[in-house]
Structure formats: structure tokens, C-alpha cells
Amino acid sequence: MDFSNFEKGIGYKFKKKELLQRSLTHRSYLNENPSWQHPHNERLEFLGDAVLELAVTEELFNRYPNRPEGEMTSLRAAMVNTISLSEVGHNIELNDALLMSKGEARDLGRGREAILADGVEAVIGAIYLDGGYEKAKNFILDNILVKLSNILAHNLHIDAKSHLQERVQAERKLTPHYSVISEEGPDHDKQFTVGVYFGKDLITEGAGHSKHEAEVEAARKALEKLEEI
């Protein structure tokens, strides 16, 4: 398979093409294509997650010598959560390059967002193995850390759940509450969908690899809805 257009899009040409192919192989693809010579991308995802966290942490530490740990942790979380990484996946047209089963390819819902986010981490892991830390960090700087200015401008790193609670209590005399709508995936890669409610009314839903991440995403989307009213 030819992934040269994807390489052009991400600005990195792999020396070892098998690493690129492996990073783009979703587990579901192997079920329908058992003769495919590469394993799925979950080990690369595991590695890429660690490289991503180090690169973002290092950059925040160097850029903001006076910001406290808690604020830098919030900034990092805003850049590396599922929704943020899935947006990166769309931007680099990862959706067109990923190898998935026909069923996964048809699913354009929250499951796809998680697959894209995981795929971005797998690509980072592959770049790290192929070209080293600096090449992986360059990809992260170009595609993920560029979100930082927007996050700061709109205070997207501030605890969305606390912000939402304060606003809804002040404006509607209600306390938002959260409920898990669904859990999908194996134990090591769970995907939670959580709804945020004002009273009995479902306002919006969020998704994430943990209940907390899904709740924060639901709160963030609820705040965006309130801005539109």
C-alpha cells in the first residue's frame, strides 16, 4: 500500500515503511485481513502516548517557568485528551490512511474519534522509533502544541466541571449531574460516553478513555452550548 500522500501531509518520510504501516493498522483490520503482515498499532500507541506526554510537559516547563504545576497539568490535559487528538487526526487526514474493518470504517460516531486519537499516538510512536525523539517532538510541536494559544485565549484548560457548576448554579439554581450512557471496548482500552444533565434534561454528551475524561468533555461542550444561547 502507498502511504506517500500521508507522509507528505505530516511532513515526515519514514525510513522504515513497516513502522508507518503498523501505526496505521487498527486491530479490527486484522480480523478481516489475517494475511496482513503487520501487527495492530496498540503497542505503538502505548509508546506514542509516553512520548507525547514528555514532549508537551517539556515544552510547557520551558515556556512557562513561573506557572504552577497544577496549571501546567491542566494545559497538558487540554492538548492531549481524546477530543483534541481526534481533531489532530482529522487535520492530518489520518481517517483516510487508517486501515480498519468495514464495520469500523462505517462508524462515524464517538468510536471513530477514539480510534483517530489512538492513531495519532501510534503515529507519534512510529516516528519516534524511526527518526528519534526530536523528529517526534517536531510533529507534536507542529500539530498539537499549536493548539496552546487557542486554549489559553479561551481558558479551555480551566476545570470545565467546576466552571459549569458555578455558572449553572448561578443562572439556573441547579447543580449539573453526570451519568454514564455507555461503555465500549476491552478493559485496557475502554471508551466511556457520559451525559451531563440539568435536572432531567440531557444537555450534551462527552467521550473519553475514563469516566472523568468523558465528564470533563461533556462539561466543556455544555459550556459551549450555553455560550450559544
Tell me the pLDDT tens digit for each residue of 86-142.
999 999 999 999 999 988 877 766 678 889 999 999 999 999 999 999 999 999 999
pLDDT of residue 110: 61
Long-range CB contacts (within 8 A, 24+) of 179-182: 180/211, 180/214, 181/205
- The residue segments making up the domain with residue 60 are 11-153
CATH number at residue 183: 3.30.160.20
Residues 6+ apart with CB under 8 A from 174: 168, 198, 199
Same domain (yes/no): 56, 127: yes
Cβ–Cβ under 8 Å, residues 95 and 118: no
Confidence (pTM) = 0.76
Same domain (yes/no): 80, 183: no
- pLDDT beneath 70: ranges in the chain: 108-110, 229
CATH number at residue 146: 1.10.1520.10
Same domain (yes/no): 98, 116: yes
Is residue 6, in this structure, part of any structural domain at all?
no
| Of the residues 119, 136, 153, the one at which a domain ends | 153
Split into its structural domains, the chain has a count of 2
Is residue 3, in this structure, part of any structural domain at all?
no
Catalytic residue numbers read: 49, 121
Is residue 2, in this structure, part of any structural domain at all?
no
Same domain (yes/no): 197, 132: no
| Of the residues 153, 174, 190, the one at which a domain ends | 153
Cell numbers found for residue 61: 516547563
Same domain (yes/no): 70, 55: yes
d(CA 209, CA 47): 17
Same domain (yes/no): 201, 219: yes
| Of the residues 136, 153, 170, the one at which a domain ends | 153
Same domain (yes/no): 33, 143: yes
End-to-end CA distance of the chain: 48
pLDDT of residue 229: 64
